[in-house]
Amino acid sequence: MSNMSGLSLSACIATALFIGGCSSVSTPATDVSEVAESTTAQRVNQSYSGLLPCASCPGIETHLDLLSDGTYFLTETYQDRPEGQFSRLGRWETDGERLLLHHGHDNTLIYFATDNGGWLQADTQGRPIVSQLNYELSPLGWQPAEVSLELDGMLTYMADAAFVVECSTGQGFPVVMTEPWLDIERTYLASSSAGGSYLHTRAQVTLNWETPEEGPARHQLRFQQLKETLPATTCGSPLADLEHYEWDLVELDGITPDALQAMHTRPFVRFSGQQLSGHSGCNVLAGPIQLEGERLTLGPVASTRMLCQDVAEIEFRFLQLLEQASYSSLEGTQWSWYDEDMTRLASFRRKPVNE
């Protein structure tokens, strides 16, 4: 894109994050944090690719898709190796001039923004690689790759529609019902105790970016092979990732998202040790909480008794679920509560520390 050659370095890096482009020089860029923060709302889906060095093969074809919702897909194909393709998904964020690709709790890949709109791989010490070989991923616009991986998630099925919430990101994927789905459907129906309940499932899947007959384009999931189902379990509830944070209510069974969005005070909870506290939308609440593995026990919960007519229905439903919650599940940055039948009651979004 030669017409962009006169852009400043910071503007070019902003383009790397949100549009792609700029010159062909593969050097690390600097001072991008303010640009990244100020233009977060302008993020668009963006793809990158490059043929990176390989010690025992001709090269590693690397494809990276960054989605505007903070999810990424990374596929590495080792040339001249049978079954040499590996994919992963996770959450991404920027930190100054760095792109951080988080996978699981303790696995992070680091890249540095370059002035041609790409990303330069970091070495094992977290520094930009300086080499005559190519360690850069160049921008492609939006060209999402087909992704094949083993997925760990919460599967639900109701009214001939299936949906999976992936554990590490909390990202949801609608299921395309191909032939392998029939066996999974039978397994789900045999394991599920209530219509629309969730079942912890591990399976080999493919994900493709498609535009359905209704709704916007998004990744669609196709099951290839079921690995296992784990009834009465969830994605897990690590205390270190749950305690001491404030969790805003973003989903409540029986209440529309618009109704929650319109609330002047959004319900939230937080806990430390075995004490829960929070706000139900009108009243302050507090009570005991026990979290052992994925099992969740709340209450009895006490609250103040102010009457707020405009949020009475939501508050009543919210207080009800405190008595019904039996399972806890951390799905990406969302904390979900399920009842004894594994029906989802509510989901909470972790509020960033700086909010």
**In the 8-state DSSP scheme, what is residue 351?**
P
Rounded to the nearest 5 percent, the helix, strand and coil shares of the chain are 15, 45, 40
DSSP for 263-292 reads: -SS--EEEEETTEEEEE-SSSEEEEEEEEE
The tens digit of pLDDT for each residue in 276-324 reads 999 999 999 999 999 999 999 998 999 999 989 888 999 999 999 999 9
The closest of 45, 43, 72, 65 to 171, measured between CA atoms, is 72
The closest of 91, 221, 70, 85 to 157, measured between CA atoms, is 221
Q: Which of 27-31, 53-57, 61-65 reaches the highest mean pLDDT?
A: 61-65
Q: Who's near 186: CB < 8 A, 6+ residues apart?
A: none
**In the prediction, which pLDDT does 355 show?**
53
Q: What is the pTM of this model?
A: 0.84
**In the prediction, which pLDDT does 31 show?**
40
Mean pLDDT score of the chain: 87
Q: Who's near 306: CB < 8 A, 6+ residues apart?
A: 282, 283
Beta bridge partners of 172: 165
Write down the residue that tokens 């379990």 correspond to. 233
Confirm if 139 and 147 have CB atoms less than 8 A apart: no
Q: Who's near 23: CB < 8 A, 6+ residues apart?
A: 4, 5, 12, 115, 116
Confirm if 252 and 332 have CB atoms less than 8 A apart: no
What does DSSP say about strands 71-78 and 60-66: parallel, antiparallel, or unpaired? antiparallel
Categorize the per-residue pLDDT at 19 as very low, low, confident or very high, splitting at 50, 70 and 90: very low
**Does pLDDT of 226 surpass 60?**
yes
Number of other CB atoms surrounding residue 250 within 10 Å: 17
**In the prediction, which pLDDT does 284 show?**
96
SS3 186: helix
Q: How many whole angstroms separate alpha carbon 317 and alpha carbon 248?
A: 15
The tens digit of pLDDT for each residue in 130-173 reads 999 999 999 999 999 999 999 999 999 998 899 999 999 999 99
DSSP for 6-64 reads: TS-HHHHHHHHHHT----S---B----HHHHHHTGGG---EEEEEEE--SSSS-EEEEE
Categorize the per-residue pLDDT at 117 as very low, low, confident or very high, splitting at 50, 70 and 90: very high
